[in-house]
Amino acid sequence: MKNLNRSGAAACSFLLAMTVIAGCTTEVQEQAQPSAVHQTRAELAAAYNTKLVEDRSVYEQDKADEVVNFYLTVAEHNLTSEHPLSWKQFNAINRLEQNTEDKTLEVVLQEGTEKGPESGKFGFGETHANGVISIRGKSTIKANQKSFKIKLFDEAGLWRNQRTINLVKHAFDSTRLRNKLSFDYFTMIPDFTSLRTQFVHLYVKDLTAGGNAGYVDYGLYTQIEQPNKTFLKSHGLDSNGHLYKASRFEFLRYPDALKTTNDPTYDEKKFNEVLEPKGSMDHEKLLLMLDDVNDLSLPFDQVFDKYFDRDNFLTWMAVNILMDNFDTINQNFLLYSPLNSDKWFFLPWDYDGAWGDTDFDEESAERRAPWQRGISNYWGNTLQSRFFKNPDNVQALRDKIDELQKIINPEQTAKMIETYRPIVSEFVHREPDLVDLPDPISIYESVLDKMKPLSELNEQRFIEMLEQPMPFFMGDVKRKNNTFTFVWGVSYDLQGDDLTYRYQLAKNPSFSNPIKDITLTGVSVEVEGLPKGKYFWKVTAKDSKGHEVPAFDSYEDVESDHYFGVRVFYVDE
């Protein structure tokens, strides 16, 4: 299960007919978009200091209906290496603390057809290892079917200009196509980048098992391009620039973790827990931006326009809303900045939780908080909460969503899904993929059909959510003598409606028999003389029109039932 917790530059004058996904049998309506295909590197360098202009010729080799056949041979000498490891032991890794740097295997990677490795394709004829494989993913590491990262040795050359190959199983996505659908869409969208993706049929020969092993069918994967310096160069961006992958990043300053590398107290591990550097290691520009974003004395729109491109930011927000990829609050995105520019751009990463991932499964839907849609989903993030307090910026997002619906719409989604359906359906209806699908195969076809109209439905939900107050955080209960003080943050209403707060205190998380139930306009309550025991408290904000929202906080009981806007505390004596 994926984590469902919290976790205006001028338009470019270049116009290009929208790139049509290669291999699709239907035509896509032309749209205006920046073009880097026919620009020189000097023109690109000048352009990407202020705008995000991608060289989209990088996608010309990829086809939406293509399946790459990879043959992976696990070398026998892994059993006698410095850190001996078999393929079976490797696939038994199921916790992050087990997935250490020494847990890698040397492998031979070859490309071929369904009949085997083919002459003229990558790795053909190799008899010695040409790369190392590791397990990738955080939440998916517990899955029976692992996702893999293969790093090719320098002397092995590149596969499609890539040295790192990500084979993603999408263990929590029964459709096995949500990422592919999203990143193919991104190749059509202005002020944005995408990642090269291919469907991959993987076969593995395990020589660490002994005997005369043959290739075993491992089913369908998606190869997703690794965002790094090679990615930047291939896409016409600044390979010397800054690139960070968000791990737990809400645009706070994080002074204990985010430091320059020449700081004597710099800790690489702590830094990476917030942001993982994928480009330049000079963090000074990043820290200056965060200082200003978190300086409440500065006019925020001026700060925003200094450090961010409105079109790019609004595009990133709009695609997340239209595709309903709500797990992008503090992760699943990249921040990029060219070397000689103050501008930071949002780049997409990981969309297998989009497109109704929680809408078609009752258990997932119950784990989704009421505020996890639209702007309110991001209100705990400093950048978004400050930006959208300006009504003009809210309207700009609405306009961007309307604009992008010319590209992201039910008709186009249906065309793309029907391109992928014959490929993916064949794999998910047979072993090994069938065995570990998170949803019954009986609903597979209906889920694909339900995905098609989602962009319009998500736009309607977004507009509805604008009427609700914004969520907030509840504080720790403070005790002085026999007085308990409960505090919480201030909610915010985009329409400026008056707000009240309902505070409840009970001995159970369902609040069936509340000890206290108070409605007030303030953000604190004092309660006297609570006996020893376990207590639950809850706060809900309500506007003058009756719209309500719980706090960001939630409580999960031993039955995995979720109670939103609830915290637990104990009175020990």
Residue 240 in contact with residue 339, Cβ under 8 Å? yes
Report the C-alpha gap between 73 and 432 in whole angstroms.
Answer: 18
Looking at residue 47, its pLDDT comes to: 54
Sign of dihedral through CA atoms 175, 179, 185, 189? positive
Looking at residue 333, its pLDDT comes to: 97
Q: How confident is the model at residue 527 (pLDDT cuts 50, 70, 90)?
A: very high
- Residues 6+ positions from 91 with CB-CB distance below 8 Å: 146
> What's the mean pLDDT when you consider all of the chain?
90
Per-residue pLDDT of 321-342, as tens digits, reads 999 999 999 999 999 999 989 9
Looking at residue 29, its pLDDT comes to: 36
Answer yes or no: is 560 within a domain: yes
Looking at residue 558, its pLDDT comes to: 87
Looking at residue 365, its pLDDT comes to: 67
The answer on pLDDT for 121 being more than 90 is: yes
Report the C-alpha gap between 570 and 573 in whole angstroms.
Answer: 9
Answer yes or no: is 349 within a domain: no
Answer yes or no: is 79 within a domain: no
Question: What is the DSSP-derived secondary structure letter of residue 18?
Answer: P
The answer on pLDDT for 391 being more than 60 is: yes
Answer yes or no: is 504 within a domain: yes
Q: Which domain holds residue 490?
A: 478-571
Answer yes or no: is 91 within a domain: no
Report the C-alpha gap between 166 and 298 in whole angstroms.
Answer: 42
In this predicted structure, which of 69-73, 172-176, 521-525 has the lowest mean pLDDT? Answer: 172-176
Per-residue pLDDT of 44-56, as tens digits, reads 555 556 789 999 9
The CATH number assigned to the domain holding 560 equals: 2.60.40.10
Q: How confident is the model at residue 291 (pLDDT cuts 50, 70, 90)?
A: very high
Answer yes or no: is 508 within a domain: yes
The answer on pLDDT for 358 being more than 80 is: no
Pair of tokens at residue 510: 């369902």
Per-residue pLDDT of 67-91, as tens digits, reads 999 999 999 999 999 999 999 999 9
Per-residue pLDDT of 175-185, as tens digits, reads 999 999 999 99
Q: How confident is the model at residue 261 (pLDDT cuts 50, 70, 90)?
A: very high
Calculate ∠ Cα 65-18-356, nearest 5°: 60
The answer on pLDDT for 158 being more than 70 is: yes
The answer on pLDDT for 521 being more than 70 is: yes
Answer yes or no: is 515 within a domain: yes
Looking at residue 364, its pLDDT comes to: 67
What pTM does this model have? 0.88
Report the C-alpha gap between 294 and 286 in whole angstroms.
Answer: 12
Number of domains, the chain: 1
